[in-house]
Amino acid sequence: MNRVLSRLTFEWPTFFLLLLCYAVWALGTTVAAQLWLPLGVGLAALAAALHSSLSHEMLHGHPTSNPLVNAALVFPALSVSIPYLRFQDMHLAHHQDAVLTDPYDDPESNYTDPAVWARLPVWFQSILKFNNSLLGRLLVGPLLGQIVFVKNDLQKIRRGHRHVLWGWLVHLPALAVVVWWMVNVASLPIYAWLLSAYLAHAILKIRTFLEHQAHEHAGGRTVIIEDKGPLALIFLNNNLHAVHHMHPNVPWYRLPMLYAAKRDSYLTRNQGYCFRSYGEIFRRYFVKSKDPVPHPLWPKP
């Protein structure tokens, strides 16, 4: 055991931020909820969103070089509905830049095959169009994404994909830890806790809203958002998404330095797909669709 521990690298900024995340969530579900319920919901939601960003760091090899240790550090399922192992499988598959935005091979794509789109009922097309505005992504995006995610995983389990089933089975005790806390320790009502979990996913939808666009060249598919505010911290600088895709093993706190050192190079590579801030994105796309739902470069039916 000592030999294993001696070989571990350790990144203290990520570890201390994780401790802060758990402390804020515990505070939000107890003391803050007693003082003022909306405050408790807000703190719990922000902490759960940050926990998801930290889980993203863990699956990329932080804060230690041991994946089991990293997974154990984010074991409590604060985000409730996304199993860590399933997040790991899908996100690492998403990092194949050659298939980014592919309706079939990119598990995080928000585009559909035009042939599939043409067969959808009008009412469902309307929901998907609304989901392509930022307002829609905040309101219905978490629910819509969860339904599609669970449906696809159930199909895979029925086809005998044991690793998918294992991902959900491991998630159950991770969720049980959080449920135990909510039942035995927390002051936050269960309905308010579930609302905070939904809000956490909505916050994360701000980050993923336009992370990728349809583009002929793989380099031009990934965004850079030059934001340095609270959302950049909650997202752990993943708003510099093109930088992260080029250096997926670099920890979150080093991404701004990488970007600042070679800003022009990154913007050239991603074809200038860049926004100055999340405020700009809200102004431009809060009620306006960013993209068509059917993939604009996909062969038409």
Residue that has been written with the tokens 């389990």 in this structure:
157
Q: Report whether pLDDT(10) > 90.
A: no
Q: Report whether pLDDT(1) > 80.
A: no
- Domain boundaries in the chain? 2-285
Determine contact, residues 77/177, Cβ cutoff 8 Å.
yes
Q: Classify residue 100 by burial, with Cβ atoms within 10 Å: 0-12, 13-18, 19+.
A: buried
Integer Cα distance of 297 and 9 in angstroms: 43
CA-based nearest residue to 48, from 29, 64, 72, 33? 29
Integer Cα distance of 100 and 112 in angstroms: 13
Say which amino acid occupies 41.
V
Q: What is the pLDDT of residues 245-256, one digit of tens each?
A: 999 999 999 999
Q: What is the pLDDT of residues 174-230, one digit of tens each?
A: 999 999 999 999 999 999 999 999 999 999 999 999 999 999 999 999 999 999 999
Average pLDDT score over residue span 274-287 = 97
Q: What is the pLDDT of residues 40-71, one digit of tens each?
A: 999 999 999 999 999 999 999 999 999 999 99
Determine contact, residues 140/127, Cβ cutoff 8 Å.
yes
Integer Cα distance of 233 and 200 in angstroms: 14
Residue that has been written with the tokens 């330095």 in this structure:
257
- DSSP E strands in the chain: the ranges are 224-225, 274-275
